[in-house]
Amino acid sequence: MSVTDRILTALTTVIRMNDKVEEIAGLMKEQQRRLDDLNGRVIRLETVLELALNRSSGAVTRLTDADGGSSAL
């Protein structure tokens, strides 16, 4: 195998790798969009849950990120 063949093979490999990297970057952007959408849905569900708990108990409770549960205010 000559030096020219090796260089062409290396360049071909780099081009293929670049295509794969671009494809994976696109997939990651799509996954991030989906995660953001799911995060918004979870926030809306937490809000509905807090409102329902407040109506049923009469006490003001709030879900917090720190303890993952509810605490009275």
- pLDDT, one tens digit per residue, over 18-57 is 999 999 999 999 999 999 999 999 999 999 999 999 888 7
Tokens, residue 25: 């970057």
Q: Say if CB 70 and CB 61 are below 8 A apart.
A: yes
pTM above 0.85, yes or no: no
pLDDT of residue 1: 73
Average pLDDT over residues 51-71: 70
Under 8 Å between Cβ of 63 and 46: yes
Radius of gyration for the alpha carbons in the chain, expressed in angstroms and rounded: 26
Exposed/middle/buried for residue 33 (C-beta within 10 Å: 0-12, 13-18, 19+): exposed
Q: Are 64 and 71 in contact (CB under 8 A)?
A: yes
Selected residue with higher pLDDT from 50 and 66: 50
